[in-house]
Amino acid sequence: MEKKTYKQCQSCGMPLKKDLEGGGSESDGTRSSMYCSSCYKNGAFTEPDITPEQMIARNNTILKEEMHWNRFMRWLAKKQIPKLERWKTK
């Protein structure tokens, strides 16, 4: 069975091609095809207890203060979080 390839981290929504580390890491050291290095290291989430609402707030702060995204672009980013694989079952 072919492994699905994702363009965005399925936890925070960051484009995986922008991840400086090339993606998160699995417990065996291979690169994760689903999650970025900020969200996933050594086969586990870096913030295992974060809620979708907390992820939205975290992202909004980063997008506003560090990346200087305007309000509309932040709103679009916020809308995608609940649709990502990590949050679909929550």
Q: What is the pLDDT of residues 22-78, one digit of tens each?
A: 999 999 999 999 999 999 999 999 999 999 999 999 999 999 999 899 999 999 999
Which residue has 């969200």 as its token pair?
A: 39
Give the pLDDT confidence of 15-34 residue by residue, as tens digits.
999 999 999 999 999 999 99
Residue 83 has pLDDT above 90, yes or no: yes
* Other beta carbons within 10 Å of 37: 19
Strand, coil or helix: 45: strand
The pLDDT score that the predictor gives to residue 2 is 57
Domain boundaries, the chain: 16-87
Paired with 10 in beta bridges are none
Dihedral sign from CA coordinates of 51, 52, 54, 55: positive
User: Is this prediction's pTM over 0.85?
Assistant: yes
